[in-house]
Structure 1
Amino acid sequence: MIRSEGIPKIMKALKIYGPGDLRYVETPVPEIDEDEVLVKVIGTGICAGDVKIIDGAQMFWGGGVLPKWVSEPVTLGHEFTGRVVAIGDNARKKYGLNLGDMAVAEQIIPCGECPFCMNGEHWMCVQADIYGSKKEIAEGSMAEYIKFYKNSRIYKVPESIPEKNTAMIEPLSCAVHTIERADIKFKDVVVVAGLGPIGLCDLQLAKLKNPRLVIGIDVRENRLNLGKEYGADYVFNPRDCDVVEEIKKLTNGLGCDVYIHCSGHSEGVLQGLKMVRSHGKYVEFSVFMNDTAVDWSIIGDRKELDVIGAHISGIEGYPVAIHMLDKKIIDVDKIITHDFKMEDYKEAFQIAKDGRQSIKVVIRS
């Protein structure tokens, strides 16, 4: 094992102890073994999922058909990069990393042994943990240091990518997987509903597929304006117009071919099912607070829809995201709107949750 000098024993971190109970605490710097990596965190993006963990969403704390996911107290954060300060010999050989390198781990820690892992579908691992969700075995990155665990999928990050932008690797990787799942064709009219960080990446990636139209929907003007800047042919605010009717006007009354939902709001589900044409495609990438109810007749008996889920970053997400940022194919500069020190976490989370001025909020140690 090789280690940098001056690694402290104690660090600051943001730990969740229960719904509404986020604390700025001192905690031991993680110890690593020969298969692991310790990095000094560069920055962590606040995900909508982090906000919903704090707010008590049943996705994380259990409810409906969903079992409890979070094991508290745990350090939050899964959108991160860092610089290597210690690395085990086995990890160094496996990943080709050295001290000082910028590195990222995928947000998921797969088991490597379940049927999905054995079939090359690690992101669907039945025993997987997500960084920032499980105490001691999947601690997150809202801290000064983070450990990349043994089964992590780790990548070196090129120095050509500005440090300030590297927290967007994870959201972009999710967008890559979502757009691959959408399987967009040249003739398609594509709607991206929810122009947050992932939605704005979805929009840019969808444009690269060169469909007939790409349309953005959101209730916040700053996000609609950026969507237009990123190449949307049209943007609509549901508070200002009947977006379903607007889409039908553009499609001779049929509706869109592909509807990509990433707002996390139940209204977006209903809107999409109304908006997508018969034999169209509905793609869901969202974390919801609670159950969403709808008459499923529209999926089968009325429209015979393809309903497709997209979960985190798939097999292609991280390598493609890193490549696209390295080659400046996708822009994230304008998506990152706010930057806070970790001790100012209350303001950071409030601004992220409000969303009227922010898009991506980053916390730095």
Structure 2
Amino acid sequence: MKTKAVRMYGKDDLRLEEFELPQIKEDEVLVKVMSDSICMSTYKLVEQGKKHKRAPQNIDTNPVIVGHECSGLIVEVGKKWQDQFKPGQKFSLQPALNYKGKLDSPGYSYEFCGGACTYCIMPHEVMELGCLLDYTGESFFEASLGEPMSCIIGGYHANYHTNKKNYDHAMGTKTDGNILILGGCGPMGLGAVSYGLQFGNKPRRIVVTDISDDRIRRAREVISEESAKERGIELRYVNTAAMADPVGELLSITDGHGYDDVFVYVPNKQVAEMGDRLLAFDGCMNFFAGPTDNQFKAEINLYNCHYTSTHIMGTTGGNTDDLIEANRLSAQGAIESAVMVTHVGGIDSIAEATKNLPSIPGGKKLTYTQFDMPLTAIDDFEELGKTNPLFKKLDQSCKAHRGLWNAEAEKILFKHFGIDPQAL
């Protein structure tokens, strides 16, 4: 079977090519990819090429398919897995395999497995580890966004608080506590807000900071303070760039208590140090943002660490249970992963969008791999719709959903490009 895929040959060398896939083995699964959202981790892979820890050293002759936030349909199942998977099933993928201590991962390491393609082959280790997951939701894009949402969920679950009586750790963010999300009006930050509003350890308050009025404005549009209040949670968006004393003003929101859980969503030294200063007694700071500099450092207050039990940790990625939770909540409509998405495109847009990801404003770049379409901002749909009937329909659909990408808009795209979402 032929596939079309975006493959990496080396640093900054991405190529959209068509080539033949081998016949699957009895312990492999052939899938049709429908959607793949672009992750900053893929940009880091392309920036480093062979130097990346997950990249094979022979990519110049055996290129890898990039992309790992994918979803689609199972097409053919090898004999070993036919009791677990059937053709026509929707799937989502947990790419963090860690198979037998190896760093190989779909979208980084495999010649025939990645998300930026029309068809690919899932290797045996994906099924052995339970990382190929059934998805029952309506849309494909929400299954694609399950992977980044699972990273967010993992962060919430990994935070902890101490218990002096028996030294057991109470896992998760603190119930009835104060949560601070620094740099939280980007795609992952908004995902964290959406999840935090329904997390079992219900917080009293979530404060979200940014330094852009435009990003704060959009955040309020997609997750309003009023909607949080209906759930019994105080939600505040604040621009720290407009504050004379950001630490003092953020503390005042909690009446001086401080924040029980702080998430740092930007890899910035000053922001990380501010988060440390804002911790309450027994506060936990999660450095969530992944820096590209392997010598990235910031100062922490070890006096507070000793006397007030503050602690700092970091999380990267989620596990399979986190992805299962993300898929379940998304299918139930309990979380809105669509708050992350600001751009939509086709398979032909993936290479350039990936290489230029940090310079493209907005949030998540969602792509559909079965057709070509320029990467387009949802905010531009209205103007484009004045002359293009497709974008007029997409604009109307998104406006009917608070400006968010949605299942109806996905179906409009499929119909326009003649794609049967159930055809294998």
Change over 3 Å in CA distance of 1:179–1:225 after alignment to 2: farther
Relative to total residues, which structure has the larger helix share, 1 or 2?
A: 2
The equivalent position to 1:253 in structure 2, one of 256, 259, 283, is 256
CA distance in 1, matches of 2:313, 2:91: 31
Deviations 1:90-126 (A, max 9, x none): 2221x3x221211122112232x5xxxxxxxxxxxx3
Change over 3 Å in CA distance of 1:344–1:105 after alignment to 2: closer
Please report how far the alpha carbon of residue 44 of structure 1 lies from its aligned counterpart in structure 2 after TM superposition: 0.8
Change over 3 Å in CA distance of 1:339–1:214 after alignment to 2: same
Deviations 1:57-103 (A, max 9, x none): 9xx836xxxxx33223322111011111111122221x3x2212111
Change over 3 Å in CA distance of 1:105–1:349 after alignment to 2: closer
Q: Which residue is equivalent to 1:110?
A: 98
Change over 3 Å in CA distance of 1:92–1:220 after alignment to 2: farther
CA distance in 2, matches of 1:185, 1:27: 51
The equivalent position to 2:143 in structure 1, one of 145, 151, 166, is 166
- Could you tell me which amino acid in structure 1 is paired with residue 158 of structure 2? R
Judge conservation of contact 1:30–1:38 (CA < 8 Å) in 2.
Answer: no
Change over 3 Å in CA distance of 1:362–1:234 after alignment to 2: same
For structure 2, which runs of at least 5 residues remain unmatched after alignment?
Answer: 160-171, 229-233, 370-424
Q: Which residue is equivalent to 2:107?
A: 132
CA distance in 2, matches of 1:220, 1:146: 40
Deviations 1:32-55 (A, max 9, x none): 212221111111111111122233
Judge conservation of contact 1:165–1:336 (CA < 8 Å) in 2.
Answer: no
Judge conservation of contact 2:33–2:115 (CA < 8 Å) in 1.
Answer: yes
CA distance in 2, matches of 1:309, 1:361: 25
Change over 3 Å in CA distance of 1:27–1:245 after alignment to 2: farther
Deviations 1:245-284 (A, max 9, x none): 3211112334311101233444432232222234310112
Q: Which residue is equivalent to 2:180?
A: 191
How high is the TM-score relative to the length of structure 2?
Answer: 0.71
CA distance in 2, matches of 1:100, 1:21: 34
Q: Which residue is equivalent to 1:119?
A: none
Task: Please show how residues 1-365 of structure 1 align to structure 2 within 5 Å.
Answer: 8-9=1-2, 11-56=3-48, 61=51, 68-71=53-56, 72=59, 73-93=63-83, 95=84, 97-111=85-99, 113=100, 126-136=101-111, 139-152=113-126, 153-158=131-136, 160-182=137-159, 183-195=172-184, 196-208=186-198, 209-228=201-220, 229-230=222-223, 231=228, 233-241=235-243, 242-290=245-293, 291-298=295-302, 300-301=305-306, 304-346=309-351, 348-349=353-354, 352-356=357-361, 358-365=362-369
Change over 3 Å in CA distance of 1:222–1:169 after alignment to 2: farther
CA distance in 1, matches of 2:237, 2:24: 48
Asked which structure has the greater CA Rg, the reply is 2
Judge conservation of contact 1:104–1:155 (CA < 8 Å) in 2.
Answer: yes
CA distance in 2, matches of 1:307, 1:31: 48
CA distance in 2, matches of 1:348, 1:32: 31
Deviations 1:209-239 (A, max 9, x none): 3211101123344543344342471112333
Change over 3 Å in CA distance of 1:109–1:28 after alignment to 2: farther
Judge conservation of contact 1:352–1:359 (CA < 8 Å) in 2.
Answer: no
Please report how far the alpha carbon of residue 350 of structure 1 lies from its aligned counterpart in structure 2 after TM superposition: 6.6
Change over 3 Å in CA distance of 1:332–1:135 after alignment to 2: closer
Please report how far the alpha carbon of residue 155 of structure 1 lies from its aligned counterpart in structure 2 after TM superposition: 1.3
Change over 3 Å in CA distance of 1:222–1:32 after alignment to 2: farther
CA distance in 2, matches of 1:286, 1:100: 36
Change over 3 Å in CA distance of 1:180–1:225 after alignment to 2: farther
Judge conservation of contact 1:247–1:256 (CA < 8 Å) in 2.
Answer: no
* Secondary structure of 2:240 counterpart: coil
* Secondary structure of 2:196 counterpart: helix
Judge conservation of contact 2:277–2:301 (CA < 8 Å) in 1.
Answer: no
Judge conservation of contact 2:116–2:350 (CA < 8 Å) in 1.
Answer: no
How high is the TM-score relative to the length of structure 1?
Answer: 0.82
Change over 3 Å in CA distance of 1:17–1:192 after alignment to 2: same
Question: How much identity, in percent, do the aligned residues show?
Answer: 21
CA distance in 2, matches of 1:263, 1:31: 43
Question: Does 32-41 or 278-287 show the bigger shift?
Answer: 278-287
